[in-house]
Structure formats: C-alpha cells, structure tokens
Chain A
Amino acid sequence: MEKNTGNGQSEDLLVLKNVYKNYGSVEALKGVSLVARRGECLVILGPSGAGKTTTLKVIAGLESIKMGEIYFQNRLVNNLEPKDRNVAMVFETYALYPHISVYDNLASSLHALNMEEEKVRERVCEIATMLGIYPFLERRPGFLSGGQRQRVALGRALVKTVDLYLMDEPIAHLDAKLRYQMIGEFKHLQETLKISIIYVTHDWREAMSLGNHIIVLNQGKVEQYGTKEEIFRKPENTFVAQIIGDPPMNLLRGHIVTEGGKSVFQSKNISLPLKEKLEKGPATLGVRSSKIRLASGSGNSRIEAEVYSCGRHGMNTVVSIKVGEELFKTEFKGYQKFEIGQKITIQFDLTDACVFDENNILIRVVGE
C-alpha cells in the first residue's frame, strides 16, 4: 500500500502531542496525539461524540486548546491564527453561495488572496476539469445535483494551494450509490495530486477506502493510530475490532485453558484449540464473520449450531447462528436457503482471529 502514496518522502506534516480541549466542564479531547504525513490521507474515524470534528477545528485553529502542542512542519503553531496555518476546510454541508455561479464560488476563495484574474481563471478551470464540473461553471449551485454540488464544495477547497486539506464528513449525506462513485473519484484525486488530507468520518468503509493511516477516536481518546492494515488486522482493543467491518467482528467471551500442554479457548459452549501457547485466564476471542464456515468433511472442532435468522447481502447470505446462548453472524458466499431453527454444523477458521485479555486489550493475532 505504501508504494501507492507516491510521496517518496514520508515527512511529518502535522503533529499533535497530547492535546486536551474542554468545552466548559466537558472534556472533548483527552490527550490526542497523531501524525499526518505529507501526501497522505489520514482518516479520523469514530462514533458521534468521539471528538473528531473538535480535533479538526483544533488543527485549523478555529478552537483553542487547553493543553498540548500542535506542530506544522516542525513549527509550534498553538497560537497561530487560522488564516496563517495554510489549511483549507471542507464541511459536510456544502456552504456554497447560492446566488452566484459555480465559477464565482470557486474563484471567490482565490480573489480573497488577491490573485490576478487570469491566474484565477486558469486555476478554476484546471480544478473544475479535474472534478468534472467544467460544464456547469456558469450554473448556480441550486441547479446542480447533490453529487455535483459536493464536487463544487470540494473544488472550493482544492483551488487553493495549501499544505493541508481538512475534510469533515464531506460525502456523508450523499446517497449510498453516489458515495461509491465519489470515493473512487476522491481517491483518484488524492493520489494524482498527492495532496495531504485529514478526513473525518464515522463510516468504516470510507476510512478503509481513503486512509493511508487511520486514527480511531472514542470519547475524546485515541483508541488506536496505525496504518489501515494494522487497524484491520491488529485491532489493539475490542472497540477498534468492532468499529471496522459489516457485520462487525464476532466476540466470544471465555477463557484460555491448557489441555494436554496446548492452549484452548473455551467459552460456555465452544472449545477451540489454538496453535499458539497463551497464558491461562479470562479472554475474548474475536472472529470475523467470513471466518465462520459451514463444516465440510469430518475435521476437528465441528460445532453444532442453530440458524437464528437468514437474509441476503448482495450475492451473499448473511446468517445469524446460535450456539447455546451465544449468537454469531456469518456471511456465506452465494445464495443459500436456511430456515430459522435449522441445525447446521460450523467450523471456525482461527487464522487472523484476535485474542483479547480481560480488559479487552489485544494479546495476540492467531497465526502471526
């Protein structure tokens, strides 16, 4: 993946060190640290109230901080005015001027910089062509579709040449189909222009699609910061494990025990031998839905289960299954018909399964 960022130099563009932010007595950020690299897209992922937008505003200089340090290109900027930070923002709402043309919407942010008219025209046309909004330059925003308006909003930020673009849920309100298209366009643009972006979203799919690095925020704290591969394969805790994926990772509560010198994960109804030797004690096993399969042949660790519900997801079949009182979600390839209450035999493929300790902290990824 790294090779595709195309930045060559992995210079740290922005560094947050232990940043705290309070709104009155409410702690919005509780020690947030992160690094944004030049030419990369860093995604801030988290549920509502996690502090995502606050982090963005703090970086832009729109909010002051209580404690901590913010560095732009190794320079401390805690007290620098927003206009001097050389960043551009895109918000979820388009914030376009409704009474002027698309061209003027794009040009206005350059006029504010006292740029020559000819250069403005050149830059606006260049960006509009790239975003596929060139044909609409003379129209007003009200005559455009949601997706087109979103591009204009993006264009308003992109016409400015800045060090860092800050984007707050820029495509969250587009309909699902348009989002697929916009994600592709967006990624193409970021990799072609090699611009640096910090992108806020609550949607794991957008995070995985766009992020080179992802930071998972929850209640003002960083749950994990890493490459997207690390976030997906080595979630540091159960919160991160469950925020990525649909259906989310299944979590089995139980214990690690030793049987005949080997470690076994045991929950109330399920016993799964592990390849590696792990310390005894309470544990949670995390298994992605794709790793629970219908048992074939007579292999080990066959588990009798009952179908709890069954539905379609594209050309896959999503089945909730019950083992004793434990419920799991699995996704089988293709169309398969299951009746509620039907008995089936399943197998767990524990490759890449995650073992968490009693505090929900990752101990081991199976097979690593």
Chain B
Amino acid sequence: MEKLILENVYKYYGDVEAVNDLSFSVRDKEFLTIVGPSGCGKSSTLRMIAGLEVITRGDIYLDDKKINNIRARDRDIALAFETYALYPHLTTFKNLAFPLQTKKMSKREIRERVKATMALLHLESYRNMKPGELSGGQQQRISLGRALIRQASIYLLDEPLSHLDAQERVDLRVQLQRIQKLNELTFILVTHDQLEALAMSDRILVMNEGRLQQIGTPEELYDNPVNLFVADFIGEPPMNFAHGILVAEKKNQLTVRCEEKTFDLPKSITSGKDLSMFLNKPIVMGVRPEYIQLCQKSHPNAIQGRVYSYEDLGEIGYLMVVCNSEKFLIEIESGFQYQMNEEVFFYFKESRICMFSEESGQRIV
C-alpha cells in the first residue's frame, strides 16, 4: 500500500528552482532515504511533505488524502530536524514527554513511553539535565526521541545523526532501523551520506539539482545505476571510470577505444541492444573496484596497466593501477607484493560493466 505520494511536485524560491517535477511514492512500513549532495532539494522536499514549505506546483497525498492545503500541525506527521528545537528550560524527560501531554495520555503511560524512548536512544543518564548542559550529539538524540515518541502516520527525519560522533552514529543507525521495523513505522530520512543510506534503508531515492535521479533498493543503486551521477555518488571507494569512443571496427564486435588501447565489449552485455546511435561517440565505462580482477597476460580480456600504489588494510587491499592516463582502483586480497611501476594485467568482470553516454550521462548498457 502507498503511504505517501508526490505527484509532479515543484518548489521555487523566487526564481530559484529547488525541486523540479518530483514524483515518487513511499510504501506503508517502508524506510525510504532521500540522499544527495547539498543543495539537491532533499530538505525542501521533506519540508513540503511536512507542510513547512508551500508547494509551488504539484500534489502530495498522505494516506490517500491530498494534504497540499492542510496545515503542518494538522498533518499526521512526526518530525526530527538537524537543528534540535528543544525547550531550553525543560529537562530531557520533560522535552520527551511534551508531545504526549497534548494527547490526553495518562501520566503513567507517558512515563513509561518516555522511559522506553530514553532506553532506546541511551538517554537515561541525562534524564534530569537541560539541553544547555548537553552536547550537540546528546541534544540531537533527544530531538530524535521527541519525534519517535509520538504516534504518527509517517516520520520525517532530516539528517538526524549528523551531530553524533562516529561510534554513536553507527549505534544509532542500528537503533533507528530496529525502531522502524519492530514498530512497523514509515520513515523518510534525508541525508547527504550515502553510506548511511545504504546501511539502513529499504529503498533509496537519489536527488541532484532538484531532480529525481533514481529510486530503488540499495542493491539496485549499487549495481545498476541509471546514470553517471548515481554511479559516482553511490559507493565508497567510488566506481572507476574509463573514457573512450564506441567504435565498430571489427565484424560483429563493438569496441571501446580509450586512447591507444582498445577494449572489446563482451557480447553478453551488448547483445540485443541497439547501440548504433552511440557509435563513434564518447562513452564512459564504469566498473566498481570489487569487480576488477588481476589476471595473467594470456587472459582473453586482459588489460595492461602499471602499479601506481598499493594500500593494505589488513584484510583487503586496494591496488591503484595506471592505464593510459587513467587510474583504476582494484580491490584485492591483502598481502600483495609489488614493485613500483611493475606491469600488471587485469580484467573487468563482464556482467558488472556499466556503460554511459558521456553526452547525456545516461546508462546505455
């Protein structure tokens, strides 16, 4: 079932276009993360759903009801923002209890829910302290708790972990996912951190320059990015890119010419596709570091390169090789022995090659 639907939504701030023709839906009990670089329109989108920004054009539906003209406080939505907006004169306990008091809940029930929320977010020791006495990370956890303690149709979380230290952030990712799944809540989380998105979400929506780039499961985005932007944005270490020209110099064989080297495209990735419109045009091949393998010179798809550097992380290593004027990062087992500038051979795992048109940035195979 669809919980929330955006239909052709636009947002302008004066002449500045923040969100352009955005359509997507969030399913009931789903954890959807909107991810993108700063200025991509992700927060504007969340604020329109929350009712904090006017929608310039388009419609938003929550539980099959159009909410464009419903005031923020009348939408059944819980919010946590990067800025904490806590009551400075209230203790942690009272800040958390506040949203419940307006709901005519018994004191006992309120106490129990606050306690449970404090336990989930490791806030027990700050129970009687006021925001001014707490660190940014602690305040952010209270702000998150204040959103989660409410019962709402949908929860909107804007960079809720941004002020936490690395260890806390990893812990809270786990807690957030558990809260969402165990209570069957619907979450929309906004972040600039693609690792965070991959770690928690059922589906991820990637935005750039106000537009939706791709929406899908973490695996889909990682293995099948629809364009160069998504390919480059998702994944760390990033995807390797090789720039070349698509040519058909051999019979029944498409080739990518990269400077003086050529790379015959495996039939498995080109068969059944009409690529004639891309012939003799610049294209970009993308391969993730995990999908490149070292091999012998005799391997049919061997590409020659030279060792540029190698970093050993204990269990895995990253080998950087130079080929033409481009560098590729290859994930290999740890303990690799090498000489600087030594000749090595490698190949791309066939099924894992992504090809993009350099002009449009769109994926072609």
Contacts and interface: CB of A to CB of B under 8 A. Distances in A.
A318 B199 contact: yes
Contact of A244 (B235, B308, B314): B314
- Chain B interface residue number, banded: 35 or more
A315 to B, nearest CB: 6
Contacts of A208: 311-314
Contacts of A312: 198-199, 218-219, 222
Interface in A170-223: 176-177, 180-181, 183-185, 187-188, 191-192, 205, 208-210
A4 interface: yes
Contacts of A313: 195, 198-199
A119 interface: no
B355 to A, nearest CB: 19
Contacts of A68: none
Contacts of B236: 176-177, 180, 314
Interface stretch (B8-16, B96-104, B170-178): B170-178
Contact of A180 (B199, B238, B338): B238
Interface string B33-55: 00000000000000000000000
B159 interface: no
Nearest to A175: B37
Contact of B313 (A188, A205, A233, A308): A205
A185 B219 CA distance: 30
Contacts of B290: 314-315
- Chain A interface residue number, banded: 35 or more
B182 interface: yes
A40 to B, nearest CB: 15
A309 interface: yes
A301 interface: no
Nearest to A6: B340
B311 A209 contact: yes
A38 interface: no
Nearest to B234: A314
A184 B327 contact: yes
Given A184-B308, A309-B177, A309-B178, A314 B314 contact: no
A71 interface: no
Contacts of B232: 177
Given A177-B238, A313-B198, A313-B199, A184 B178 contact: no
A187 B318 CA distance: 12
A185 B320 CA distance: 9
Nearest to A204: B313
A191 B309 contact: yes
A271 interface: no
Interface in A208-244: 208-210, 228, 232-233, 244
B174 A187 contact: no
Given A3-B337, A314-B290, A210 B311 contact: yes
A18 interface: no
Interface string B308-328: 111111110010100000010
Interface string B157-175: 0000000000000100110
A204 B340 CA distance: 24
Nearest to A290: B315
Contacts of B308: 184, 188
A368 to B, nearest CB: 16
A309 B182 CA distance: 11
Nearest to A331: B315
Contacts of A339: 181
Given A177-B236, A313-B195, 11 more contacts: A187-B311, A188-B309, A191-B309, A208-B313, A233-B314, A309-B174, A310-B177, A311-B218, A313-B198, A314-B288, A315-B223
Nearest to B313: A208
A287 B360 CA distance: 47
A31 interface: no
A146 interface: no
A100 interface: no
A188 B320 contact: yes
Interface in B304-363: 308-315, 318, 320, 327, 329, 337-340
Contacts of B173: 309, 311
Contacts of A290: 315
B174 A191 contact: no
Contacts of B174: 308-309, 320
A311 B311 contact: no
A192 B309 CA distance: 10
Interface in B261-290: 288, 290
Most chain A CB within 10 A, of B173, B236, B309, B320, is at B309
A76 interface: no
A297 B223 CA distance: 31
A192 B340 contact: yes
A341 B181 CA distance: 10
Contacts of A1: 312
A311 B181 contact: no
19 contacts: A4-B310, A177-B236, A177-B238, A184-B308, A185-B309, A188-B340, A191-B309, A208-B313, A245-B315, A309-B178, A311-B173, A312-B199, A312-B218, A313-B198, A314-B198, A315-B288, A315-B290, A335-B219, A340-B177
Contacts of B312: 1, 208-209, 228
B293 to A, nearest CB: 14
Contacts of B200: 311
A288 interface: yes
Contacts of B327: 181, 184
Interface in B212-233: 218-219, 222-223, 232
A210 B182 CA distance: 43
B132 interface: no
B88 interface: no
A187 B178 contact: no
Given A180-B237, A247-B170, A314-B222, A308 B178 contact: yes
Contacts of A4: 310, 337-340
A366 B234 CA distance: 38
A339 B173 CA distance: 16
B181 A340 contact: yes
Nearest to B321: A184
Interface string A87-127: 00000000000000000000000000000000000000000
Nearest to A327: B174
Contacts of A320: 174
Given A184-B309, A311-B198, A245 B182 contact: no
